[in-house]
Structure 1
Amino acid sequence: MNQRIHEFLDYLRYERNLSSNTIESYQRDLIDYMDFVDTHGRQEDEQNVIHYLQFLQQEHRAPATQARRLAAIKAYYCFVVNDQGLSSDPTELLSAPKLNRRLPHVLSIEEVTRLIEAPDLSTMTGIRDRAMLELLYATGVRVSELCHLTMNDWWLDPPKIRCLGKGSKERYIPLGKLAAQWLMRYVDVARPQFIKDIQEPTLFLNRQGKALTRQGFWKLLKKYAIKAGITQPITPHMIRHSFATHLLENGADLRAVQEMLGHQDISTTQIYTHVSQKRLRPVYDQTHPRA
């Protein structure tokens, strides 16, 4: 990885304050682009970027992947032009491929209920997992945000949590009664059984007393999905999608949902209104007397 990319990533980390996941994504995309440049002996110019995008198309990369790669390259060259005096930006006239936004997959309320009730509550891990599932569905947080919660990030009066989203932006999200009860039960009964270091601040711990990772939670989620009889492929983000969709279906304000999800742009949140409208059709057909 060349020095300019190192400096660009430092800029994202220390000046833009982007999350480590976002920085890693930029790094992977730029390394892939530079490998293409080195392999083909090309110059860093507009024609080369076009050749790289054509290469991605030939590799049958998804339009979303092509758009993300170009966004990373454009951000990199913008930095190099402004900070390091590159004479011109080779991506200035290039635009990303138009994307057809896919509707997010969501679970039904019944499926969410079965999933949440799947853990074995006779075990300490079952109590922990029930608390995590309750919290995930009650707040719509990202799984990385869930795994990074600390003992100082939740309150019971009134019930709420604090999480750091993308760009380390802080937001507070209310907790429902059930989620608050299960969180309290986990902290009182189960978490002390996982603690190896009394100074460990992380809220949700694994059996080694360390922070439960995103990958570890994903494995647990897949296990509980099978137990709950959910046949479609499931991801932690699907619970976030379900949280937003179910709120909107029950009359929640779009701005409030945007705030809870931590979306910077409300257009990102509006995708869930399309999901709600899509699900209205069968309800109408089944319930209206003249449908």
Structure 2
Amino acid sequence: MDYIHYLKVERGLSENTVSSYKNDLVQFVFFLEQKEITDFSAITRQIIVDFLELEANQQKATSSIVRSVTSLRKFFQYMIEEGIIQNDPMELIDAPKKNEHLPEVLSTSEVERLLATPDVSKPLGLRNRAILELMYATGLRVSEVINVQLADLHLSLGLIQTIGKGQKERIVPVGDKAILWIERYLSEVRPKLLKKQSSNFLFLNHHGKKLTRQGIWKNLKADVLTAGIEKNVTPHTLRHSFATHILENGADLRIVQELLGHADISTTQIYTHLSKRRLAEIYGKYHPRA
């Protein structure tokens, strides 16, 4: 489909985002087929409303419906720009409001327990420790972690390059502890995993291939269980924890925005709510009249 090619090449969206938009459109096209609608110019606002009501009746999460609205809005904007349709049926469609939901964050003591969990006497344990240290030290997304290449490392300068959403490159500082574990992984483990193969990627699986998102998820879940942490921890939890902890320690919101690679500072502002919630928890715990 030309539109999917447009999203990948001209918009530079990530594979995950493109896949999500594609899945939303497949669902919409299936709905149109059920209604025997074959002409996109015949699609009206009411047809869009009927589709969104169907998704709501199927008990889809509000976040999924919001994304469907976004997917359809971008698709019909593209159709108008290409001259395929004249009127935008999404013009008067409002997305449902997302439920207020603050992401889970680990305390500093929980982070320390998690980081100490991998068995660093074993090659894969040392690799996993290096991954966790890097994620907490930089706030990188899991998709960015698996795509880090050797050429992106500037450890002597305490920096790492990464490509984020929208193919935007940024340079992120890396702390001394994370550098220590990455260097140990590079010297003690990576050559063993690589064997006689070659790879530009930093983190490898036991076959010497690029580590996957699923691989990091699986290893993290096991480490969380071993650490006795009862929170719902995902790779993104380390990113949330990174941002919250540096804000709590006085970092400027604009700096956090740059470190996380957020295009809009409103996305970063959620972490001010998290740090305020943390302050309220500390007050409630330690103030004698709380």
Q: Structure 1 runs of 4+ off > 6 angstroms?
A: none
| Equivalent of residue 33 in structure 1, options 28, 31, 35 | 28
Question: Does structure 1 retain, via aligned residues, the 8 Å contact 2:104–2:232?
Answer: no
Q: Is the 8 A contact 2:104 2:231 kept in 1?
A: no
Unaligned runs of 5+ in 2: none
Q: Kindly tell me the number of residue pairs found equivalent between the two proteins.
A: 286
Matched AA of 1:204: F
Q: Within 5 Å, which residues of 2 pair with 1:1-291?
A: 6-42=1-37, 43-288=42-287, 291=290
Q: Measure, in 1, the Cα distance between the counterparts of 2:289 and 2:15.
A: 54
Residue number in structure 2 paired with 1:3: none
Deviation at 1:87, TM superposition (A): 1.5
Specify the SS of the correspondent of 2:150. coil
Rounded to whole Å, the distance in 1 between the matches of 2:196 and 2:33 is 48
Amino acid at match of 1:72: S
Instruction: Describe the superposition over 1:160-194 as per-residue Cα deviations: whole angstroms up to 9, x where unpaired.
Output: 11110001100011011100000011001110000
Counterparts of 1:89 and 1:286, CA distance in 2: 54
Judging changes above 3 Å, is the alpha-carbon distance between structure 1 residues 118 and 92 closer, same or farther for their aligned structure 2 residues? Answer: same
TM-score by length of 1: 0.95
Q: CA deviation at 1:152?
A: 0.6
The 1:169–1:156 alpha-carbon spacing in structure 2 relative to 1, beyond 3 Å, is same
Distance in structure 2 (CA, Å) of the matches to 1:46 and 1:289: 58
Shift of the 151–91 alpha-carbon distance from structure 1 to 2, 3 Å rule, reads same
| TM-score of the pair, normalised by structure 2 | 0.95
Letter matched to residue 73 of structure 2: K
3-state SS of paired residue (1:152): helix
Distance 1:213 1:84 in 2: 40
Identity fraction in percent: 45
Deviation at residue 286 of structure 1 after TM alignment: 3.5
**CA distance in 1: counterparts of 2:124 and 2:198, whole angstroms:** 21
TM-fit CA distance, 1:198? 4.3
Q: Secondary structure at the match of 1:157?
A: helix
